[in-house]
Amino acid sequence: MVIYFSGTGNTRYAAEVIGELLHNEVKDIKKLIRQGGRTKFYSEAPYIICAPIYAWRFPPLVEGFIADSDFWGSNEVYFVATCESQTGNAAKYLKKICDEKGLKFMGFAGVPMPENYIVMYKVPDEEEQKKIFSRADRELVRICNTIVRREQLTDSLDMKLAKPFTSLVNPWFFGAVVSTKKFHATDKCISCGKCSGVCPYNSISLKNGRPVWGEKCTHCMACISNCPTEAIEYGRKTVGKPRYLCRRKPKITWR
């Protein structure tokens, strides 16, 4: 069973490719996270849990969800992260959760995909995106080959230098950078409510037809990127920047 969380579609795409190649059921956990409570999964096949990397780890809301869920049937778990290029020491924390839950950690791999973090960076242009996805597709096939053989999955990204700093960078990022304070909607807002429906923390409500942000946030970029009129900005940092949403559908085969 493939289980995924995605803010702007890259990880959804990765999960769907893996699901299609392995003929596995694919489950989006955003709704379950929004609902809260404990989730029970059952799968005879190994679990493959996919999420984006935020500051060199899986997002806290995904790590928390895994820790609070029950996994019946298979006790083998593979982890696949989509990222821009750096997975840091994400695998260490996922292995720890597996150890605590009595699950067998079957390895971790990061798959570089287009940058979605428009609060800090720019989205690559269309040409660059095509090249990135072509490399990503090859890496996803390698990952699926490893899973089919039930071998330990290894990361193709060399994180020797980043690893030791994850324990400093990640808490700083979530403590000092991630916040909803700078989100606001401009006059382009048409009161459609889409931003409110895509927030994994249920943090956005509509007041007088305009979104209002609560406190909880993971900077997933789902609200700002899904707005149909590009009415959402993050301070001045996102003004004039293209938004990013991956709408690709899997069409790759075994090679």
| Closer to ligand FMN by Cβ: residue 103 or 157 | 157
| Closer to ligand SF4 by Cβ: residue 170 or 180 | 180
Smallest gap from Cβ 231 to ligand SF4, in A, equals 4
Q: Rounded to whole angstroms, how far apart are CA atoms 98 and 117? A: 28
* 246 belongs to the binding site for ligand FMN (CB under 6 A): yes
Binding ligand FMN by CB under 6 A: which of 24, 69, 89, 116? 116
Q: Rounded to whole angstroms, how far apart are CA atoms 163 and 88? A: 5
Piece of 67-75, 120-128, 156-164, 201-209 that binds ligand SF4 (CB under 6 A): 201-209
Per-residue x/- track, 150-189, ligand SF4 (CB under 6 A): ------------------------------x----x---x
* 115 belongs to the binding site for ligand FMN (CB under 6 A): yes
* Overall size of the chain counted in residues: 255
Binding ligand FMN by CB under 6 A: which of 2, 49, 55, 224? 55
Beta carbons of 44 and 74 less than 8 angstroms apart? yes
Beta carbons of 90 and 66 less than 8 angstroms apart? no
Tokens of 82: 């989509």
HEC-encoded secondary structure of 26-81: EEECHHHHHHCCCCEEEECCCEEEEEECECCECCHHHHHHHHCCEEEECCEEEEEE
List interacting residues with ligand SF4 (CB under 6 A).
180, 185, 189-195, 198-201, 203-204, 211, 213, 217-223, 227, 229, 231-232
